[in-house]
Every structure is written in structure tokens, then in C-alpha cells.
Structure 1
Amino acid sequence: MLAPLLLTAAALISCSVPTDRNLTREQLQDQIVEKVTQQSGAPPDSVSCPGDLTATVGASLDCTLADGGQQRRVSVTVGGAEGDRIELHIQQRIAEKTVTEQIADQVNRQIGRAPEWVSCPGDLSADSGATLRCELRDSGQTYGVTVTTVHRGGVTFDIRVDQQPQ
């Protein structure tokens, strides 16, 4: 079994923000920094959103959070709008590239060599219990890999390589 990997990430966060029916890029970035800092205890290195978000229920925007040399996608969705306040749902996802790199690093540490390749079908949700099924190739054999998000203070994920090749 491979050791768990610790990431400082936030799962689904809700907040209510005063607005004039739109949130500017700067307001969104500030809300993400505030909520991630509250949950992880430290601010991320940076947050970048591509534009403003209209205060319409269901409207969403994907932003990028950089922290510790790694980037994560942050989805911001309007959950409700009442008067001059909107409810935001902020969800982080651990990028596919980060997951594949960490699988390769863990395998390298465990068996003394990196696998030939690692492939995952997409990003891993930071929600506790979320799973992602990946594959790795080592010594000409393909193995399934299950990556599961768990919460141990911050967000971590466990990497488990199947015992038998596919």
C-alpha cells in the first residue's frame, strides 16, 4: 500500500456574499482566498479567475488556485441569490496532472523506480470519499490504481495500486 499524500485543499464550501447582482473577478478571488484560508489555516499563493460572475442561480466559473508549486481548479457556483446577497459554492479539484505525478512519485519511493506511465481520466474531487480510477504501467504490465480523497485535518488522498495486473 502506498502512503497517503497530504494536500492543503478545500472541499465544498458555501458562503454568502453581499453583491450588486454580480461578483467581480477580484471579489471572487478574495472569497476563495478567505474560504481556503479558513479551512486550511494558510492562504494559497495565488488565485486567478478569468472574469466576473453573474448572480444567477446555477451560474458558475472555474478559477485557478496555486499553492506550494501546484495548481488546482476551483469551481465557483451561485447556489442562491436573495436581495443583495448571493450564496456561493466553492469546490476545489485536484488536477489530473497532480494526481498522476503523485502516483508516479509514490511508486518510485516504494519500489525504487518510476512507472513507465500513469494515466487518469480527469481531476480528483476534494470531497471526502471521492474516488478516481487510474492506471499505471510498470515492467510491461498495466495495473489499476484507486485514488480516494480523505480528510485528515486538511485534504489528503490515498493511493492504492491493484495487486494483480489487468
Structure 2
Amino acid sequence: MAAAAVAVLLGAGCSVNVSSGGSVGKDEVAKQAKTALGEQVGQEPDSVTCEDDLKAEKGATVRCELTSDGKKLGLTATTTSVEDGKAQIGFKVDDLPGEGASTTPPEPTGTPDDAAGAPAVDKAEVARQGKAALAAQTGRQPDALACKEDLPARAGATVRCQLAADGEQYGVTVTAKSVTGGTVQMDFKVDDAPGG
């Protein structure tokens, strides 16, 4: 079928001036989340609401909820660093709708060579990006694309996914071509024959 390449951020991020109170207001966090996610996926969510203000301390988190195309998804905003009065915030959308605050918030994204908890592109995000890339290349949306595991954020890493199109199942090999500043360039190669 087709091979396609696409870049995906390891969780969108932004930089915000910190108020004298040492936190970022929940409305500002929501606003920044909308902007950052819009830049990441090419379309801003319809709305984002956050439960509380986000403390300007590294590792601090706050839970938010985004609405997009009528679907609600949980979102975790994490302060990844604070420097010169600016808080760097990372945003991680839940894999599935309804993953509530009872789930453990994700660790802040580290560098790709970080031995403990090395970053990876979430399997749902890999599948979403793959569908979009293959649709752009072939001119039509695949019926479904599912990946069994996250894609490690290191050049040369691969995962296998399953593509459904025209009633057939195809294997897809996803390769991380390069990792630059937290952005993973991915390549999608669909097997020549169905069944993979």
C-alpha cells in the first residue's frame, strides 16, 4: 500500500510567565493546552477545562478535561521546569476516554537517553498519526489502525501495528527515523500483502 512519514511531539508543551503567587492559573493552563495541542495535531480542541491552578514547581501536575468532536478526554498538565520566572508546561492526553484522576499522572518527559523512564510516543498517538499520514498519502482514511505498544523515542526503534482497510488486515512497521528536541519523526511502512 503506502509508506508515510510524520512528526509527533512527545506531549505538547509551552512556556508561561509565572505569577507572583508561584502558580499558573487554571484558565491560563487550559488556554495554553488548547494552543499547544492545536499546534501538535493541527486542530485545537473545542474546549479545555482544568480543575485547579498549576503550581510552578517541577513535577507539579493538574488534571484537565478536553472536548473535541463531542468526545471528552482527560489531560494531565505537568510543570516540567521553572526558569527565570517562566514555567515550562507539558501536556499529556489520556489514551482512552474516561481515564479519570485515579490514574497515575505521567512522568515529565525526559531526554531520549534518559535511562529511567525513557520517553516514548504513546501507542494511541502512533496509531492516530499513522492513520492521518496514510490518509494524506493514499487520499482515503484507513478503517482502523491499532498499535500494541508505545514507540520508544530513539532513532531506529520500531513497533508493529495492524491496519484494517477494505476488509483486509495489513501489518504496519512504524520506525522512529529521528528524534530532535522531543519531536519524533516517524515512518509508516505497510506490508505488501495482507495478513501481517
| TM-score class normalised by the smaller sequence | 0.5 to 0.7
Q: What aligned pairs does 1:18-29 form with structure 2 within 5 A after superposition?
A: 18-19=18-19, 20-29=21-30
Aligned partner of 2:162 in structure 1 is 135
Distance 1:86 1:65, change over 3 A: same
Q: Measure the CA separation in 2 of the matches of 1:5 and 1:77.
A: 25
Cα shift at 1:110 = 4.4
Distance 1:156 1:71 in 2: 28
Q: CA deviation at 1:142?
A: 4.9
Please, what is the CA RMSD of the aligned residues?
Answer: 5.4
> For the structure 1 residues 6 and 146, does the alpha-carbon distance in structure 2 shift closer, same or farther, using more than 3 Å as the test?
closer
CA change 1:72–1:156 in 2 (3 A) is farther
Counterpart of 1:58 in structure 2 is 59
Q: Could you tell me how far apart the structure 2 residues matched to 1:132 and 1:71 are?
A: 28
- Which residue in the other structure is 1:90 paired with? 90
Q: Which range moved further: 51-60 or 61-70?
A: 61-70
- Structure-2 separation of matches of 1:71 and 1:122: 23
Any unmatched runs of 5+ in structure 2? 96-123, 179-183
1:1-166 pair list within 5 angstroms: 1-3=2-4, 12-19=12-19, 20-33=21-34, 44-52=44-52, 53-61=54-62, 63=64, 75-81=76-82, 85-91=85-91, 96=124, 99-100=127-128, 103=131, 106=134, 110=138, 117-121=144-148, 133-137=160-164, 142-146=170-174, 158-163=187-192, 165-166=195-196
Deviation (angstroms), 1:58 = 0.4
Higher relative contact order by CA 8 Å / sep ≥ 6: 1 or 2? 1
Task: Identify if the C-alpha distance between structure 1 residues 64 and 161 changes in structure 2 by more than 3 Å, giving closer, same or farther.
Answer: farther
TM-score, length-scaled by structure 2: 0.47
Are the structure 2 counterparts of residues 72 and 134 from structure 1 closer, same or farther at C-alpha, using a change threshold of 3 Å? farther
* SS in structure 2 at match of 1:30: helix
Q: Between Structure 1 and Structure 2, how many residues are aligned?
A: 158
Q: 1:136·1:145 contact (CA, 8 Å) conserved in 2?
A: no
